[in-house]
Structure 1
Amino acid sequence: MLLVLLFLLLFLLLLVLLLLPPLAVFRQQQPQDARLSWLASLQYRVAWRALCWAAAWQQQRLEQSTLHVGQSQQQALRWCLQGAQGPRCPLRGSTDMSTFRNDLPLTKASQVQEEESGEQLLPPTSNQYHGEASLQATVLGLAALNKAYPQVLAPGGTALVTPTSPWPRPLPWPWHALDQVSRPGAKDPGALLLAALRSPGLRALEAGTAVELLDVFVGLEADGEELAEAIAAGNPGAPLPRRAAELREALEQGPRGLALRLWPKLQVVVTLDAGGQAEAVAALGALWCQGLAFFSPAYAASGGVVGLNLWPEQPRGLYLLPPGAPFIELLPVKEGAQEEVASTVLLAEAQKGKEYELVLTDHTSLTRCRLGDVVRVVGAYNQCPVVRFICRLGQALSVRGEDIGEDMFSEALGRAVEQWPGAKLLDHGCVESSILDSSKGSAPHYEVFVALRGLRNLSEENRDKLDHCLQETSPHYKSLRFRGSVGPARVHLVGQGAFGALRAALAACPSSPFPPEMPRVLRHGHLAQFLQRRVVS
Structure 2
Amino acid sequence: MLLLLLLLFPLLLLLPLAVLWRQQAQGPGPSWLASLQHRVACGALCWAAAWQQWRLEQSTLHAGQRQQQALRWCLKGAQGPHSPLRGSTDMTTFRNHLPLTKASQAPEEESGEQLLPPTSKQQHGEASLQATLLGLAALNQAYPAALAPGSTACVTPASPWPHPLPWPWHALSQGSSPGAKDPGALLLEALRSPGLQALEARTAVELLDVFSGLEADGEELAEAIAAGNPGAPLPTRATELREALEQGPRGLALRLWPKLQVVVTLDAGGQGEAVAALEALWCQGLAFFSPAYAASGGVVGLNLWPEQPAGLYLLPPGAPLIELLPVQEGGQEEAATTILLAEAQEGQEYELVLTDQASLTRCRLGDVVQVAGAYNQCPVVRFICRLGQSLNVRGEDIGEDMFSEVLGRAVGQWPGAKLLDHVCVESSILDSSGGSAPHYEVFVALRGLRNLSEENRDKLDRCLQEASPGYKALRFRGSVGPARVHLVGPGAFRALREALAASPSAPFPPAMPRVLRHRHLAQLLQRRVVS
Deviation at 1:339, TM superposition (A): 1.0
Output the CA distance in 2 between the equivalents of 1:392 and 1:314: 23
Matched, 1:326 2:320: yes
Instruction: Say if 1:128 and 1:169, in contact at 8 Å, map to a contact too.
Output: no
* Inter-CA distance 276–428: structure 2 relative to 1 (3 Å threshold): same
Any conservation in 1 of the 2:442–2:485 contact (CA below 8 Å)?
yes
The aligned runs of 1:296-311 (5 Å cut-off) are 296-302=290-296, 304-311=298-305
Q: Is the 8 A contact 2:4 2:47 kept in 1?
A: no
SS of residue in 1 equivalent to 2:372: strand
Q: 1:416, 1:35 → 2: CA distance?
A: 52
- Give the structure-1-normalised TM-score: 0.93
d(CA) in 1 for partners of 2:331 and 2:225? 58
Q: Give CA-to-partner distance per residue, 1:375-414, whole Å, 9 cap, x none.
A: 0001000010000000000000000000000001001100
The residue number in structure 1 matching 2:250 is 256
The count of residues paired between Structure 1 and Structure 2 equals 525
d(CA) in 1 for partners of 2:382, 2:489:
33
- Residue in 1 that maps onto 2:34: 40
Q: What one-letter code is carried by the residue in structure 2 that aligns with 1:500?
A: R
- What letter is aligned with 1:331? L
Alignment of 1:200-349 (within 5 A): 200-302=194-296, 304-349=298-343
Any unmatched runs of 5+ in structure 2?
A: none
Matched, 1:527 2:521: yes
**Change over 3 Å in CA distance of 1:88–1:420 after alignment to 2:** farther
SS in 2 for 1:192: helix
Q: Secondary structure of 2:283's partner?
A: coil
CA distance in 2, matches of 1:490, 1:84: 50
Relative to structure 1, the CA distance from residue 16 to residue 187 in structure 2 (aligned partners, 3 Å threshold; closer, same or farther) is closer
CA contact (8 A) 1:82 1:92 kept: no
- Any residues of structure 2 matched to 1:156-195 within 5 Å, and which? 156-195=150-189
- Give the equivalent residue in structure 1 for 2:128: 134
Q: In the aligned structure 2, how far is the partner of 1:124 from the partner of 1:419?
A: 43
Which of 8, 23, 26 in structure 2 is aligned with 1:12?
8
Q: Secondary structure at the match of 2:104?
A: helix
SS at match of 1:282: helix
SS at match of 1:402: coil
State the partner residue of 2:344. 350
Q: Which is further off, 504-513 or 481-490?
A: 504-513
Matched, 1:381 2:375: yes
Q: Check whether the contact 2:117–2:365 (CA below 8 A) recurs between aligned residues.
A: no
Contact map agreement 1:128 1:170 (CA 8 A) in 2:
no
Conserved? CA contact 2:118–2:356, under 8 Å: no
Q: What per-residue deviation string (whole Å, max 9, x for no partner) do you get for residues 93-119 of structure 1?
A: 4221011100000000118999xx960
The match for 2:65 is 71
> Aligned partners of 2:82 and 2:448: how far apart in 1?
55
Post-superposition CA distance 1:348-370 (Å, at most 9, x none): 00000100000001222110000
**Deviation at 1:151?**
1.0
How much has 1:62 moved relative to structure 2?
Answer: 0.4
Residues 123 and 513 in structure 1, CA contact (< 8 A), matched pair in contact too: no
Q: Is the 8 A contact 1:445 1:487 kept in 2?
A: yes
Q: Counterpart of 2:314 in structure 1: which amino acid?
A: L
Deviations 1:45-92 (A, max 9, x none): 110100000011111100000000000101111222225699996636
Partner of 1:492: 486
Comparing 8-17 with 460-469, which one deviates more in the overlay? 8-17
Is the contact between residue 107 and residue 517 of structure 2 (CA under 8 Å) also seen in structure 1?
no
Cα-Cα RMSD: 2.7
Please give the TM-score of this superposition, normalised by the length of structure 2: 0.94
Aligned to 1:429: 423
> Retained in 2: the 8 A contact 1:347–1:385?
yes
Deviations 1:323-364 (A, max 9, x none): 011110000001224311231010000000100000001222
Aligned pairs (5 A) from 1:367-516: 367-516=361-510
Q: 1:357 to 1:324 in 2, by over 3 A?
A: same
2:88 alignment counterpart: 94
CA distance in 2: counterparts of 1:84 and 1:246, whole angstroms: 62
CA distance in structure 1 between the aligned counterparts of 2:239 and 2:80, rounded to whole angstroms: 60
Q: Write the letter of the residue equivalent to 1:215.
A: D
Correspondence for 1:153 among 147, 151, 154? 147
Residues 215-254 of structure 1, C-alpha deviations (whole Å, 9 max, x = no match): 0000111111111111111111111111111111111110
| Distance (Å, rounded) in 2 between the aligned partners of 1:322 and 1:149 | 25
Q: Residue 145 of structure 2 aligns to a residue in which SS?
A: coil
Shift of 1:187: 1.3
Tell whether the 8 Å contact from 1:470 to 1:478 is kept in structure 2 after alignment: yes
Task: Pick closer, same or farther for the CA change 1:336–1:87 going to 2, 3 Å.
Answer: farther
SS of the residue aligned with 1:373? strand
Partner of 2:193: 199
Aligned mates of 2:4, 2:253 — CA distance in 1: 37
Cα deviation, residue 14, structure 1: 2.0
Give yes or no for contact 1:257–1:288 (8 Å, CA) kept in 2.
yes
- 1:511 Cα shift? 2.3
Match of 2:494, SS state, is: helix
One-letter amino acid of the structure 2 residue matched with residue 289 of structure 1 = C
What is the rounded CA distance, in whole Å, between the counterparts of 1:513 and 1:87 in structure 2? 34
8 A contact 1:267–1:293 mirrored in 2: yes
